Structure 1
């Protein structure tokens, strides 16, 4: 396990005082996080909020955070229902000059609103529950991927999804892979639950790297397991190229969609599983690597903000985004010098959750080292989909309005292929432009590993 210090954005929790709190506690037992009452109403968070920019009825993160908090402290007001319009892009965190824990307030407020004010028999509740618990539904579709893809692609299915559940009918459901990433890993000789058995399998097949000094545990998340398995495969091959032993621990959803929908109890259960399994991997000498910037954000920031069970801080401190890790621990740009891929022009979008971790410039630097690759950053606008937010019927038009600037910049760029590290940003980019979208790791795989890849 590496002792290297993680480069973090100033507003992402590091080694400063950081205590998990309950933002809206019972009665007079108010426990304010130090500094959280420092909002001086500069409205910087509001001017950086992509939802407030296009939705005049949304009061913005300042109201959803410190102002609503103060009202509740004084008069025990109910949570305002507008908190459910927050997309959870978390841009307000990095925008605030006083480091007020805005997204932490929003997450806790949403959880209280769902618990106290949302009917458990309502269409909205069950729609949100389904969207935030994708991990529970995906295995069934992945068992019959061809059938699932056909049925979900039917216009009648989309029509029913909108009328019955309130899922935007204009969205195309993501396709399920014919083989999940974990199935590919097991077939390849890896083992998800026992490193000792995995080593035995590797010794027999000789397919993977064994290295006690360079070991990572891959947190693949839901989407790379069930849908874009090529991203997970690319990560494995790239890290093995650098001599890393790759472990694939048992894991649940990162919790990001649950936070965004106020399903905090579901998120806690998922986090307990992840912290337990990832802590064991850390004890085995591994660092935690995520290919999705929302997953790394969740493990690094939201877990220690909202949960206090054993191992939470340790997991947060040892979690890295994949490209970030290679840039810190390896000479990634040096290794890429002289490599070449087929001439490709990319329009690159840095996800909000990448920017919040201070990682928004790294992909452009990495791409510049590969011959045949031209990448153009399409600006700092939000894609607008924000996980499950843009999948909701009532948010679809707002989501597309937010994404207009990104769409325009992509179409103005000299590119027909998009590039990003976020799976839902990828959906929005493809939906708004029709471009094929790739993950940065897939480009690194093409440059470093080449075309002589084993069959999936």
Structure 2
């Protein structure tokens, strides 16, 4: 209800008492901001699903309009909420700052808890996709066997027939050594601390570092300098089990700047759980992550993530959906890995004049979750400073896969329609390789174009540390 006060009658002394039109609303999770929507439909016109699927009612209905209906106890959550891809583009599009994705996440959770049959194929499939971290350790125990079995056409056929996981996509391969296995074999935090100290000595002592929310240099050199440069790395599931080369590049780049790196115990960020309405699962993961990351912050570390969806989850979705001790500190001190170096180090100057072994041309896609954090322009700007590297931004279109969304058989065609603009722009870019910070966007880019895809951190690693696969500092 509105907080605005109406005209007063001087002859009336009785205190005004507002009437609760819908008493049951107090018991409902009606998110603040629903009444800020003035139905301009900007969110709908920016929704990639609504653009290609005429039957999808769009984020305006899924958010504020649905919550208005929920004030009346005769309305269930509409099943179309499960067609939302959780790209979260509606959040940044809304001129009134209505928390649309928060409403969508809450609605999906209620729909799954109260309206979805837990014995249905859809529920079982969604639960499996949402909890990739629980299955990945099993697959990574025997990676070569797992990759062979998952690559068989009969496996993909069975996946679609039994679970509704599309057979059109190839399952991602498991690495023969996970990042955490490499990290422990390398010596873990002790080895990182030693390398960080050596890097600081080579670079002439401590390098300035500011804390979250500060402007670099604003407090003066003496106050900004910090001998204990420390970050806690939230690597997420995919960089651990499938693309550890991304995580290794982060370690090498940060050690190049003299940072000690700690790798806390962690669970999935929760992004696939939010997208599938599995909020209880997401909360359990959040409890572990917030506890471990808050402890790292107390020890002087900032949190960095190499996946844009992971940083988005920790920064925005956690404090929106959960009330946990330390959650606000975690959100305030979480950074995208490249963003952190731009703010706390002179990364642009450091890249000036650097080179890579061979000329490289990239077709760069900024993930939706990076755009929502205001990070869409940083990669192209940075890579332009490296000699021999040419990065082409392929536009602001959505890749279409949106995590687990594009893996569902019923969403596959919609996913590819959404991604078609990105595919066309990549083909026109005349590039050698695709580039993005989101692991599932990289799957879609490779699937739709045949490009090999790499991560921005791998390019920074090649330019700053060197591209030799073995040798000092590159285990």
TM-score, structure 2 as length reference: 0.87
Measure how far apart 1:236 and its partner are.
0.2
Measure how far apart 1:36 and its partner are.
3.2
Residue matched to 2:68: 70
Whole-angstrom CA distance in 1 between matches of 2:29 and 2:424: 45
Residue matched to 1:305: 320
Q: Which runs of 5+ in 2 are unaligned?
A: 1-21, 201-226
Residues paired across the two proteins, number: 423
CA RMSD across the alignment: 1.6
Counterpart among 88, 91, 98 of residue 90 in structure 1: 88
Residue matched to 2:433: 417
Measure how far apart 1:451 and its partner are.
2.4
Counterpart among 214, 225, 239 of residue 224 in structure 1: 239
Residue matched to 1:247: 262
Measure how far apart 1:340 and its partner are.
0.5
Q: Deviations over 1:376-428 (max 9, x none)?
A: 10000000000000000000000000000000000011102000000000000
Measure how far apart 1:351 and its partner are.
0.2
* Inter-CA distance 103–242: structure 2 relative to 1 (3 Å threshold): same
* Inter-CA distance 240–314: structure 2 relative to 1 (3 Å threshold): same
Counterpart among 443, 446, 449 of residue 465 in structure 2: 449
The answer to whether residue 444 in structure 2 is matched with residue 404 in structure 1 is: no
Question: Any conservation in 2 of the 1:25–1:31 contact (CA below 8 Å)?
Answer: no
Residue matched to 1:180: 178
Higher relative contact order (CA 8 A, sep 6+): 1
* Inter-CA distance 202–301: structure 2 relative to 1 (3 Å threshold): closer
Measure how far apart 1:26 and its partner are.
6.2
The answer to whether residue 233 in structure 2 is matched with residue 215 in structure 1 is: no
Superposed, 1:2-81 pairs within 5 Å as: 28-30=26-28, 32-81=30-79
Measure how far apart 1:35 and its partner are.
3.4
* Inter-CA distance 396–33: structure 2 relative to 1 (3 Å threshold): closer
Q: Deviations over 1:314-361 (max 9, x none)?
A: 000000000100000001010001101120110000000000000000
The answer to whether residue 251 in structure 2 is matched with residue 236 in structure 1 is: yes
Residue matched to 1:392: 408
Whole-angstrom CA distance in 2 between matches of 1:419 and 1:36: 37
Look up the SS of the partner of 1:429 in the other structure: helix
Residue matched to 2:384: 368
Question: Any conservation in 1 of the 2:236–2:268 contact (CA below 8 Å)?
Answer: yes
Q: Deviations over 1:227-256 (max 9, x none)?
A: 000000000000000000010000000000
Question: Any conservation in 2 of the 1:188–1:207 contact (CA below 8 Å)?
Answer: no
Residue matched to 2:343: 328
Whole-angstrom CA distance in 1 between matches of 2:244 and 2:334: 21
Residue matched to 1:290: 305
Counterpart among 261, 281, 289 of residue 266 in structure 1: 281
Look up the SS of the partner of 2:57 in the other structure: coil
Counterpart among 289, 296, 311 of residue 281 in structure 1: 296
* Inter-CA distance 31–422: structure 2 relative to 1 (3 Å threshold): closer
Question: Which of structures 1 and 2 has the bigger CA Rg?
Answer: 2
Look up the SS of the partner of 2:434 in the other structure: strand
Q: Deviations over 1:111-162 (max 9, x none)?
A: 0000011101001001000000000000011000000000000000000000
Look up the SS of the partner of 2:95 in the other structure: coil
